[in-house]
Structure 1
């Protein structure tokens, strides 16, 4: 039975919401906060040092490491809340209808990844180099979830836990062990090339196994939004604190959960950075514990309502895919403009011949400092907010079927 706060968190569902979409305000708020943080990472991708690894302790700085580290929370939250949102959709759809929606939505995300977002990243159509990223994995997660939702919740939980907690057991298996099927291993577990010829390369950056597990667990978490406030908040608190404690304990033991153990460094600060430096590609068990634990605690905090100063993030969280697509185009356009103003030419901004020159071939001296990157991040978010507010209002007032796909 829904309680008063739960009804408030639905964001005026039902008769006050012509689209009939069932929404939980705290879920939209967390999604919005995370997607705003995500934009920081992508601004750095376009304006930072080409090819540099912000988490390489041998070359990074503490501010740069922490800037990258805070954006680590984005992908795990996207996948978790994708599953949660699917479960909430059962408030308005039958299980068969939800299954069909997840299948078609998943296929749509695959199209967006390889066509719309590839162009946004590279501004060319030569397909010489293509890096497959988050929408690919989200699309396949939805397609797999379309079948999983017909199983009992316990089976779905078991599926999710096995994939998330057990996939690091596969770390020692190289793709070459599968011979001609090595590209399949890149799709499932270890980042690598799906296609690698002199003319075309397709690199899989988001292997599926752990992300499928996170989405499945997010789906079962959605059931908690049919519980009483007290029971749901207690669950979020226990789960969040338990995952954080599990991360600290397992990371201290240095025996399982991440392929790269931490070590004592030149100072306590750098030792802490080593402790936090867990593997994202693919996301290790420790990476997921480190990010999903605090995310669940934030869901608990947001469950009591949205602070006024976070209302803009709530608006963005209601139209996450809309923001996601537009912000890449805006960032890349800003990069082209910056290149022309600084260097007088933009030739390299449309060329990405190999992984070392992705998403474009930057001129010498391209990298901007962190203050400039943070400033540009603010510009991108502020520029897109009015568009997100406009589109969120359209989705609130209308119920056209296509609105569910963007």
Structure 2
């Protein structure tokens, strides 16, 4: 079994815990489906940073998936590692279309299929498998080109109609793209594949620093330098305001809202500004967490050991709670919205932020023992299917 790196599981655990906050807000906040929490003109400090802090989750999840892929490949041949990545990626794509979507929407008719982070990770893993089979250098070069260069697409005019337009959106430019399959079925393509692939490829190549022969002190120094450099690049790009994000930020009426606008980089698709803003601090965190061992790190590691298991369970638990609240607050079956991605989520239903935080904490704590049990089960069992969950 590949060795586990404590700092990776700690950081991944923190990511998984914070991620659940965003989804709790989607389901339970009063403006969860009616307002943009990042709109500088209308948001509040609490709402803005409740949403903004979760920006670190998807890039961290994807980056660490690539890093973990490198570590898991160390005891396999290059061919074996590539085949496993392709198979696991295909499984994740299928899981996104079925298991994840059912938990996310509770819509058994799949009238609205949402393509999100597991979809992007799945396809990125397939691409990683194909590239890593041939060359680490090729993987690094393609990763750098996608990471730093994909915003060149902001200056290209792509087809606007037909299947070619949909394909480009799915691959590169998706920003809440709705694809109509027929009069009863829609697809929401929210995670453009290739920008996330760039993040995964660089995560995989960062795994080189975690080889047994690599000096830990040097690894820490390189992570700190890389993380600080990405943060600096983010600031420079935002100040220049011409490349790195599809929508330049605009001056605001107050200093606080100026900060909101400056930090509001595009996640859909993930711009270079967004990737630098999030991965910079995450790389620094990876370096600083290497020597940290305490009760709180052991707590969050429980979630970091079983990220996919936790990811699936938290959606089903949150949505089950939403259904309970739906009926307890007086709604009935006739008010289920079949073209709503959340199915049971009413536009004007919801609670204030303190209630959202309380529900979030309850859900995270409720999943602690199931995650600890499954982590221990994975550690002590060797069935083939455990490698896919």
Q: Secondary structure at the match of 2:329?
A: helix
In structure 1, the partner of 2:13 is: 32
Match of 2:196 among 211, 232, 249: 211
In structure 2, the partner of 1:47 is: 28
In structure 1, the partner of 2:291 is: 304
Q: Tell me if the contact between 1:26 and 1:306 (Cα under 8 Å) persists in the aligned partners.
A: no
In structure 2, the partner of 1:389 is: 372
- d(CA) in 2 for partners of 1:275, 1:215: 26
Match of 2:210 among 212, 221, 225: 225
In structure 1, the partner of 2:338 is: 352
Match of 1:137 among 115, 120, 142: 120
Aligned residues: 383
Once the two structures are superposed, residues 29-54 of structure 1 have per-residue CA deviations (whole angstroms, 9 ceiling, x without a partner) of: 11110010000001011112223211
- d(CA) in 2 for partners of 1:202, 1:224: 39
Q: Secondary structure at the match of 1:343?
A: coil
Q: Tell me if the contact between 2:170 and 2:191 (Cα under 8 Å) persists in the aligned partners.
A: yes
Match of 2:360 among 364, 374, 377: 377
Q: Where do 5+ consecutive residues of structure 2 fail to align?
A: none
Q: Tell me if the contact between 1:336 and 1:346 (Cα under 8 Å) persists in the aligned partners.
A: no
TM-score (norm 1): 0.91
Match of 2:166 among 183, 186, 190: 183
Bigger mean CA deviation after superposition, 359-368 or 309-318? 359-368
Bigger mean CA deviation after superposition, 189-198 or 73-82? 189-198
Match of 2:271 among 281, 284, 288: 284
- d(CA) in 1 for partners of 2:349, 2:298: 35
Q: Tell me if the contact between 1:183 and 1:193 (Cα under 8 Å) persists in the aligned partners.
A: no
Task: State the 1:28 CA deviation.
Answer: 0.8
Q: Secondary structure at the match of 1:367?
A: coil
Once the two structures are superposed, residues 291-341 of structure 1 have per-residue CA deviations (whole angstroms, 9 ceiling, x without a partner) of: 000000000011113332221111110000000000000000101111111
- d(CA) in 1 for partners of 2:334, 2:128: 43
- Assess, with a 3 A threshold, how the Cα gap between structure 1 residues 91 and 305 changes in structure 2: closer, same or farther: farther
Task: State the 1:22 CA deviation.
Answer: 2.4
In structure 1, the partner of 2:350 is: 367
- Assess, with a 3 A threshold, how the Cα gap between structure 1 residues 339 and 327 changes in structure 2: closer, same or farther: same
Once the two structures are superposed, residues 89-139 of structure 1 have per-residue CA deviations (whole angstroms, 9 ceiling, x without a partner) of: 122222111111111111111111111111111212222211111111110
In structure 2, the partner of 1:273 is: 260
Q: Is 2:76 the counterpart of 1:90?
A: no
Q: Tell me if the contact between 1:187 and 1:194 (Cα under 8 Å) persists in the aligned partners.
A: no
- d(CA) in 2 for partners of 1:282, 1:332: 26
Match of 1:260 among 236, 241, 247: 247
- d(CA) in 2 for partners of 1:177, 1:117: 29
Q: Tell me if the contact between 1:55 and 1:277 (Cα under 8 Å) persists in the aligned partners.
A: yes
Q: Secondary structure at the match of 2:188?
A: strand
- d(CA) in 2 for partners of 1:216, 1:371: 38
In structure 2, the partner of 1:17 is: none
**Residues 108-127 of structure 1 correspond to what in structure 2 (within 5 A)?**
108-127=91-110
Task: State the 1:264 CA deviation.
Answer: 2.6
- d(CA) in 2 for partners of 1:273, 1:339: 33
**Residues 70-109 of structure 1 correspond to what in structure 2 (within 5 A)?**
70-109=53-92
Q: Tell me if the contact between 1:175 and 1:190 (Cα under 8 Å) persists in the aligned partners.
A: no
Q: Where do 5+ consecutive residues of structure 1 fail to align?
A: 1-19
Q: Secondary structure at the match of 2:114?
A: strand
- d(CA) in 2 for partners of 1:315, 1:94: 30
- d(CA) in 1 for partners of 2:344, 2:111: 13
- d(CA) in 1 for partners of 2:347, 2:147: 41
Q: Tell me if the contact between 1:348 and 1:360 (Cα under 8 Å) persists in the aligned partners.
A: no
- d(CA) in 1 for partners of 2:277, 2:119: 23
